Amino acid sequence: MQLYTRDVGGGTPLILLHAFPLSSAMWLAQREGLAARFRVITPDLRGFGGSPLGADDPSVDVMADDVAALLDAKGIERAIIGGLSMGGYVTLALCRRHPERILGVVLADTKASADPEAVRHSRVRTAERLESEGNVSVLLEDVLPNLVGPTTMRQRALVYGRVRGLVQSTPPHAAAWAQRAMAARPDALGALSGFRRPALVLQGAEDTIATEEDARAMAGALPNAELIMIPGSGHLTAVEQPQLFNEAVTEFGTALARTAR
Ligand code: MLT
């Protein structure tokens, strides 16, 4: 599957994988703020934005293989891979399936554990509604309210409006496919102790979808990880606190590029 991709800047390649149910449009501030230092590549994961959905069964492994194929297509041997939430699940699948392509990882507002049974069921119910209704009402009702934190709701109306617009433009069938893929994802925590590349774990202090406990579990399991909490942000740290997010990634990526030389 060839993913639609925005590719800006120059330097160490940094691939950023977006959250659900958004698209590469969420990385606007990263394309602007990080391109002076990195080659920032932001694909639309399959079905989202400009990328086709294809006919494969739902799986985060399929999404990870799409990203490995993107690296092949661009002639990039190794890159820093960063993923936020669903993008983090895909990053963890890349760690499992294509570790040789990874210089280091940024795991933002995500978790390595599989879903409990009740969450899996609720994802399947959401997928069924998306498919039967053919619109994203269920996402606006159930997902959007938790995407940004109370500070953004109080102080950053434009940010919330932008996120709402992105959710509204999500194709329902892609969202259903991704819900089924996330429901089926395996536990990734057990394998983290074998992943020796540097990792940066970023966590919004007000995030209720992925919690500080999830972030600490990943940082604790990874042999070479640093955890940074982002204040005044809910689940979408890269969108809600872009400056803090970009500073953390710049520092991490710059140190990584130095040692990788
Ligand atoms: C996301 O932001 O990508 C989603 O909240 C992930 C999820 O539903 O687990």
Query: Would you give per-residue pLDDT tens digits along the chain (261 residues)?
Result: 899 999 999 999 999 999 999 999 999 999 999 999 999 999 999 999 999 999 999 999 999 999 999 999 999 999 999 999 999 999 999 999 999 999 999 999 999 999 999 999 999 999 999 999 999 999 999 999 999 999 999 999 999 999 999 999 999 999 999 999 999 999 999 999 999 999 999 999 999 999 999 999 999 999 999 999 999 999 999 999 999 999 999 999 999 988 876
Domain span at 52 = 5-113+187-260
Residue 182 near ligand 1, beta carbon < 6 Å: yes
Angle between the 60-74 and 86-97 helix axes, to the nearest 10 degrees?
70
CA 110–ligand 1 middle distance (angstroms): 8
The strand order across the sheet containing 38-43 reads 5-9, 38-43, 12-17, 79-84, 102-108, 199-204, 225-230
pLDDT digits (tens, 9 = 90+) for 52-107: 999 999 999 999 999 999 999 999 999 999 999 999 999 999 999 999 999 999 99
Report the CATH number at residue 238: 3.40.50.1820
Reading phi first (left if > 0) and then psi (alpha if -120 to 50, else beta), residue 9 is in: left
CA–CA separation, 40 vs 34, rounded Å?
7
Q: Are the beta carbons of 10 and 1 closer than 8 angstroms? A: no
Which atom in ligand 1 lies closest to the alpha carbon of residue 235? 2
- Asked, for residue 175, whether it belongs to a domain, the answer is no
Helix residue ranges per DSSP H, 2-85: 28-34, 60-74
The three-state secondary structure class of 44 is coil
List of E strands, 37-101: 38-43, 79-84
Q: What is the pLDDT of residue 259?
A: 80
Q: Are the beta carbons of 12 and 257 closer than 8 angstroms? A: yes
Q: What are residue 230's DSSP bridge partners? A: 204
Per-residue DSSP letter, 193: G
CA 182–ligand 1 middle distance (angstroms): 8
Which atom in ligand 1 lies closest to the alpha carbon of residue 146? 5
- Asked, for residue 145, whether it belongs to a domain, the answer is no
CA–CA separation, 122 vs 110, rounded Å?
18
Token pair 């494969």 is found at 56
Q: Are the beta carbons of 230 and 244 closer than 8 angstroms? A: yes
- Asked, for residue 168, whether it belongs to a domain, the answer is no
Q: What is the pLDDT of residue 90?
A: 98
Residue 238 near ligand 1, beta carbon < 6 Å: no
Q: What is the pLDDT of residue 224?
A: 96
| pTM more than 0.95 | yes
Closest CA to 110 of 13, 28, 213: 213
Residue 48 near ligand 1, beta carbon < 6 Å: no
Q: What are residue 13's DSSP bridge partners? A: 39
Q: What is the C-alpha end-to-end distance of the chain, expressed in Å?
A: 31
Count of domains observed in the chain: 1
- Asked, for residue 77, whether it belongs to a domain, the answer is yes
Q: What is the pLDDT of residue 257?
A: 85
Question: How is residue 150 written in tokens?
Answer: 């109370």
CA–CA separation, 213 vs 217, rounded Å?
6
Q: What are residue 206's DSSP bridge partners? A: none
- Asked, for residue 230, whether it belongs to a domain, the answer is yes
- Asked, for residue 101, whether it belongs to a domain, the answer is yes
Question: How is residue 72 written in tokens?
Answer: 């092949």
Q: What is the pLDDT of residue 261?
A: 60
- Asked, for residue 52, whether it belongs to a domain, the answer is yes
Which atom in ligand 1 lies closest to the alpha carbon of residue 86? 3
Question: How is residue 161 written in tokens?
Answer: 């409006």
- Asked, for residue 177, whether it belongs to a domain, the answer is no
